[in-house]
Amino acid sequence: MYTSLSSDVVEYCNKCIDHFQTYANSIDAVQLVDGSCAQIFSYCSSLSDRLQEVHTLMSKENFRFYIKVRTALDVQARVIHDELYSVYGDQAPGLSTVERWSKLFREGREELEDDARSGRPISETTPQNIEQIRLLIDDDPYLTIEEIQEETGFSYGTIQRILTTHLNLRKITARYVPKELTDLQRAERVRICKENLEKIQQGTWRLCDIITGDESWFRPKQLGRKSSHAAWIRRGDPPPTVVRQNRPSYGTRGIKFHHDNGKPHVHNNVLAYLESEGLTVVPHPPNSPDLSPCDFWLFDLIKENLPDQSDSQSLHDAVISFMNSLSNEEYKKTFEKWIERMQLCIDNQGDYFEHLMK
């Protein structure tokens, strides 16, 4: 109740501040902005900052207490971060913040509060303050507002206004790529996509005959989601990339089997068995999860909709139940997207293309 109310008030105050700043900057502020406007501006700014400070302070102390207890139990900072993120999502402190506080507690720190600073947080959107935050983001676009606040001493509301209004930034999750492609790999992606598309378009292969599959890790507790890689970017710019750290029935004669080039899939014994069963293997380019329906659609969809489970058996049952709940139309649309993606790969000279998709 308090959190919702304070957030609404902060948003309203920030809008008031922006309107007054626009008005004051567009005319002779000394002559035309009277005392009452100046008082309202000051009050809104103070109330916005104070409410946000109280809300942020409560969250900080709760998070730091948890970090302190888990650190005392000899739990590693990355594990603590994953635990917090699994519950609080993007509201949880960043990994660097957890690591810093875990280190402080291991060294004997007892206090949960920030070290005292002289004066109240700076709440001015001056050119110098804007430039300071811009340089911080240029150096590390994955910083959270909390981390910028600790670095600069600015108020939460000031940082938020500078990021969104003055720097025109928004936070977006980085897109994963398996590795940086070489020219040879890009050419191979184009060649295979052209060959596959030609067979489908000529009717040599029918989509209803293609079975696609892959593997992924599913855990009872959903940890380490992609949004932990959220970064500040300018509006309209593509998301940054993060290189992934590895990892009708008439018999089988007409079936086309599509999977990636994982070692279990391309082992000689596996290929020999598939051939003996009359299964045609659909070629798949190396390092191309963006061309695998399981990777670009199914796995993320399951994980986004899968609640925490108590054990591996309930996890298995929940995954199967969710997959069975998807309509045939959803699967059909995914194969149509697969064809669209192969064409995009060709048009983009074999490079990754997901940032070009609408």
Write the pLDDT tens digit of every residue in 95-121: 888 888 998 899 888 888 776 655 555
Structure tokens at 30: 């000394």
CA pair distance 12, 47, nearest whole angstrom: 10
Q: What is the mean pLDDT of residues 148-164?
A: 85
Task: Summarize the confidence of residues 306-311 as an average pLDDT.
Answer: 84
Tens digit of pLDDT for each residue in 257-274?
Answer: 888 888 888 888 888 888
φ, ψ dihedrals at 108, nearest 5°: 110, 5
Banded model confidence at residue 71, pLDDT cuts 50, 70, 90: very high
Residue 208 pLDDT: 83
User: What does the buried/exposed string (b/e) look like for 88-116 if buried means 16 or more CB atoms within 10 Å of the residue's CB?
Assistant: eeeebbbbebbbbbbebbeeeeeebeeee
Say if CB 178 and CB 259 are below 8 A apart.
no
Residue 147 has pLDDT above 70, yes or no: yes
- Answer whether residue 79 shows pLDDT above 70: yes
Q: pLDDT band at 240, cuts 50/70/90?
A: low
Q: Taking 90 as the threshold, does the pLDDT of residue 1 lie above it?
A: no
Say which residue, 62 or 229, is predicted with more confidence: 62
Q: Whole-number mean pLDDT of the chain? A: 75
| Vertex 69 angle, CA 65 and 72, to 5° | 140
Of 211 and 25, more confident = 211
Mean pLDDT of 67-82: 90
Work out the average pLDDT over 331-338.
88
Average pLDDT over residues 349-358: 80
Confidence (pLDDT) at 217: 67
Domains annotated on the chain, with CATH: 2-114 (no CATH), 183-226+233-356 (3.30.420.10)
The whole-number average pLDDT for the span 172-194 is: 79
The confidence score (pLDDT) of residue 20 equals 46
Per-residue pLDDT at 193 exceeds 50: yes
Q: Please give the pLDDT value at position 72.
A: 92
Cα separation of 10 and 16, whole Å?
Answer: 10
Task: Tell me which residue of 28, 49, 26, 29 sits closest to 37, measured CA to CA.
Answer: 29
Which residue type does 32 have? Answer: L
Q: Is the pLDDT of residue 185 over 70?
A: yes
Q: What is the pLDDT of residue 195?
A: 93
The answer to whether 54 and 103 are in contact (CB under 8 A) is: no
**AA identity, residue 81:** H
pLDDT of residue 117: 57
Beta strand pairing call for 230-234 and 256-258: unpaired
